């Protein structure tokens, strides 16, 4: 990946929400790179900050109560966090597009999908109405919606969940973005429909050469899809590795525990599931040590005192942990 | 009755014969007339043995939840017969119905909606004890609630708190404690873990397994997560659009599926292993599930089936035994 052009560089991103109950520390300083044509998966459980970190760089966090407390997100040399709303509008949709978990709430229920797609093309690409409509038909056709020209006049409720997600994808690809961020796009869908959408996205990525960030809680979906995986916990990156390394040789206790907690459909049952004791972290407390400590079976004294930095343990394999899981001692 | 048959009858806890549930669609305000029916569950027949976990899988809208609820008598059945521990669920009234309800419980999918937000944990878990008059005194009842709460891995000091003070996984534990309160034989678990995070799912599944070992419970485990079903179930039944298409022992189903729908479903399950995931061949089904209001004639799957032949669109496939515990409804299997 090193020879590929660097598209996005996020450094020390911090996002907080000020609520009546106190400050929620959602993202606590994360850094990563995204290269051209790469598929990066961001994996974590609910509340780990995976969605918030992506919405932060696109300026989709409501401020207040949200606050981008620090960091930078360089996209082709410009810091997205410093752009004005109108400048951001040129980036969003055109350069960096995003699809969400629930396509019903991200589509406007009272506009036909033709209207919604042409609006997108119209806004960013200055096409006239006839060309825009033609483009919309092409796009729907491309994402596998049959009889596209007739379906332009349909409303979102006339599509099934899987079809709606296809419409969303068509809309977001209208301006051939360089980065597509997919936030749990298949979580609300059944497995057979999920397989259809994954297949579609993989095909589109190959055809367009765009880079992709796929946010999910499902380590299964990611395995066949990503080049590189980032695992997040309590607003921090705990492990970052190539997809093969991560599954074959996980080095962070949380990643190891997550993989151990997953049953396999392709193997006979050979053991009881390893559960991770305890509960998800309380985000109302600013982390002052490794946030996984209360649930970690490898924890040593240092883990309770200092936040471990994200360090390399092998080429392109980083973890944020004080412990060497092989020896059980400090690294 | 032969010795063997008697033995089998004693080992069967739940017996379902031709269970059918249609929801009528009506038109008109004053004079309502039925204009159609949602054929949610059609002609299900299966048995659940004492102490086993039967998995019921299928995609959303395939009728698995309706099947679970009709089985417990929460919906009146349109046709067919269900017996639980020798008692007929559909015809039961009064004491007989109370006896069934006590012995057959349910755990729900949504740990937020299934607990009354205005009741304390104590009130929620003790309700079955009060309804079925299982404790002599309030002192005894409190003691039993504390016991149940500890049994599901929560602290007994928490019983005076309200549901909103707990996380999703903890709430699911409270729901399990409530289901256990009346000393059940049979529990329908309706997607009990699908609303939970991965790390918490394993906790709840292990708890369900421990409770099964401890009390000899029988589960109907309704789920769409086929990986978890393979882990937890003894046998697995697959539903498609209201009908059962295949039923087999766990490993037999996953390694030797006979129905084309089961095969495509299994091929779509993500596997957390990049090397396997890249090699796998997916059988991607075209299109969406048809409406259960006008399900396709013949085999309900024929509109999406990759291997369908002429007979499939005409004749309904028979539910037949392929030997052993393997059942399938397909002309070509």
Flag whether B248 is in a domain.
no
Percentage of chain B lying above the pLDDT 70 cut: 97
Flag whether B280 is in a domain.
yes
pLDDT of A124 = 77
pLDDT digits (tens, 9 = 90+) for B68-82: 999 999 999 999 999
pLDDT digits (tens, 9 = 90+) for B236-283: 999 999 999 999 999 999 999 999 999 999 998 888 888 888 888 888
Range of the domain at B209: 3-25+38-233
Same domain, B111 and B175: yes
pLDDT, mean of residues B22-31: 85
pLDDT, mean of residues B298-312: 91
Q: What is the CATH number of the domain that holds B142?
A: 3.40.50.300
C-beta separation of B106 from B72 below 8 A: yes
pLDDT above 60: residue B3: no
Same domain, B218 and B284: no
Among A92, A34, A33, residue whose Cα is nearest residue A59: A92
pLDDT of B251 = 93
SS3 of B153, please? coil
Flag whether B161 is in a domain.
yes
**B271–A265: do the CB atoms touch at under 8 Å?**
yes
The model's confidence at residue B8, banded by pLDDT at 50, 70 and 90, is low
Among A179, A172, A226, residue whose Cα is nearest residue A8: A179
The model's confidence at residue A168, banded by pLDDT at 50, 70 and 90, is confident
pLDDT, mean of residues B215-229: 92
Same domain, B227 and B263: no
Same domain, B92 and B170: yes
Of A31-45, A123-137, B178-192, B202-216, least confident by mean pLDDT is A123-137
pLDDT of B45 = 93
Domain final residue pick, B233, B266, B294: B233
Whole-number Å distance between alpha carbons of B90 and B80: 9
Whole-number Å distance between alpha carbons of B94 and B80: 21
pLDDT of B81 = 92
* Cis omega (within 30 of 0) for bond into A312: no
pLDDT, mean of residues B317-327: 90
Residues with Cβ within 8 Å of residue B80, at least 6 apart in sequence: B16, B17, B18, B19, B20, B43, B44, B45
C-beta separation of A262 from A220 below 8 A: yes
Distances (CA, A) of A282 to A26, A235, A267, B204: 10, 11, 35, 20
- Helical (H) or strand (E) element with A317: strand A317-319
pLDDT above 50: residue B1: no
C-beta separation of A93 from A172 below 8 A: yes
Among residues 214-233 of chain A, which lie with CB inside 8 Å of chain B?
217-221, 223-225
Give the CA dihedral A66, A71, A75, A80, nearest 10 degrees: 40
Same domain, B210 and B276: no
pLDDT digits (tens, 9 = 90+) for A195-253: 888 888 888 888 888 999 999 988 888 888 899 999 999 999 999 999 999 999 999 99
Flag whether B96 is in a domain.
yes
List residues of B whose CB lies inside 8 A of any A CB: 59-60, 167, 169-170, 197-203, 205-206, 209, 224, 226-228, 230-232, 250-251, 254, 264-278, 280, 282, 284-285, 288
Of B169, B266, B280, the CB nearest to A279: B169
Same domain, B188 and B288: no
DSSP A307: P
> Considering chain B, what is the average pLDDT of its residues?
89
Of A162, A279, A295, the CB nearest to B288: A162
């Amino acid at each position: 990946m090193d020879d590929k052009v660097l598209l996005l560089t996020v450094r020390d991103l911090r996002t907080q929400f000020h609520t009546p109950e106190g400050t929620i520390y959602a993202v606590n300083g994360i850094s990563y790179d995204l290269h051209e044509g790469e598929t990066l998966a961001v994996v974590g459980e609910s509340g780990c900050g995976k969605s918030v970190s992506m919405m932060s760089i696109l300026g989709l966090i409501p401020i207040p109560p949200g606050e981008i407390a620090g960091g930078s997100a360089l996209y082709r040399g410009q810091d997205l966090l410093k752009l004005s709303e109108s400048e951001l509008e040129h980036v969003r949709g055109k350069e960096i597009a995003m699809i969400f978990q629930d396509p019903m709430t991200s589509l406007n229920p009272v506009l036909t999908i033709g209207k919604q797609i042409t609006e997108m093309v119209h806004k960013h690409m200055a096409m006239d109405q006839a060309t825009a409509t033609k483009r919309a038909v092409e796009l729907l056709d491309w994402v596998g919606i049959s009889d596209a020209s007739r379906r332009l006049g349909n409303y979102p409720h006339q599509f099934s969940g899987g079809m709606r997600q296809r419409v969303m994808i068509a809309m977001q690809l209208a301006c051939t973005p360089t980065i597509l961020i997919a936030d749990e796009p298949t979580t609300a869908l059944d497995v057979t429909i999920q397989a259809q959408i994954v297949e579609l996205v993989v095909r589109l990525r190959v055809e367009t050469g765009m880079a992709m960030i796929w946010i999910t809680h499902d380590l299964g979906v990611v395995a066949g899809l990503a080049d590189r995986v980032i695992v997040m916990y309590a607003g921090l990156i705990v492990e970052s590795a190539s997809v093969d390394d991560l599954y074959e040789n996980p080095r962070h206790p949380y990643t190891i525990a997550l993989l151990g907690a997953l049953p396999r459909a392709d193997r006979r049952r050979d053991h009881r599931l390893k559960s991770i004791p305890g509960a998800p972290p309380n985000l109302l407390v600013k982390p002052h040590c490794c946030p996984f400590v209360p649930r970690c079976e490898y924890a040593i004294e240092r883990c309770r005192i200092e936040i471990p930095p994200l360090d390399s343990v092998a080429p392109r394999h980083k973890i944020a942990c004080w412990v060497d899981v092989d020896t059980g001692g400090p690294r | 009755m032969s010795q063997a048959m008697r033995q089998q009858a004693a080992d069967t806890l739940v017996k379902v014969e031709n269970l059918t549930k249609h929801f009528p669609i009506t038109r008109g305000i004053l004079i309502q007339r039925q204009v159609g029916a949602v054929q949610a569950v059609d002609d299900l027949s299966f048995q659940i043995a004492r102490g086993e976990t039967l998995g019921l899988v299928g995609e959303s809208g395939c009728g698995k939840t309706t099947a679970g609820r009709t089985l417990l008598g929460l919906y009146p059945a349109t046709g067919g017969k269900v017996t639980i521990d020798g008692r007929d669920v559909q015809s039961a009234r009064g004491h007989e119905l109370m006896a069934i309800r006590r012995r057959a419980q349910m755990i729900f999918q949504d740990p937020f909606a299934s607990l009354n937000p205005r009741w304390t944990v104590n009130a929620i878990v003790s309700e079955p004890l009060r309804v079925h008059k299982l404790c002599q005194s309030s002192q005894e009842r409190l003691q039993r609630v504390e016991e149940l709460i500890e049994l599901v891995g929560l602290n007994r000091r928490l019983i005076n708190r309200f549901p909103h003070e707990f996380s999703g996984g903890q709430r699911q534990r409270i729901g399990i404690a409530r289901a256990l309160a009346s000393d059940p034989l049979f529990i329908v678990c309706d997607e009990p873990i699908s609303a939970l995070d991965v790390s918490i799912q394993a906790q709840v599944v292990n708890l369900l397994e421990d409770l099964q070992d401890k009390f000899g419970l029988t589960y109907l485990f309704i789920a769409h997560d086929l990986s978890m079903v393979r882990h937890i179930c003894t046998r697995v039944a697959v539903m498609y659009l209201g009908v059962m298409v295949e039923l087999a022992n766990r490993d037999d189903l996953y390694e030797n599926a006979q129905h084309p729908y089961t095969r495509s479903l299994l091929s779509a399950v993500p596997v957390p292993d990049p090397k396997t995931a890249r090699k796998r061949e997916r059988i991607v089904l075209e299109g969406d599930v048809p409406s259960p209001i006008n399900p396709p004639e013949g085999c309900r799957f024929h509109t999406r089936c990759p291997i369908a032949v002429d007979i499939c669109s005409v004749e309904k496939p028979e539910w037949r035994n392929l030997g052993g515990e393997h059942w399938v409804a397909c002309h070509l299997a």
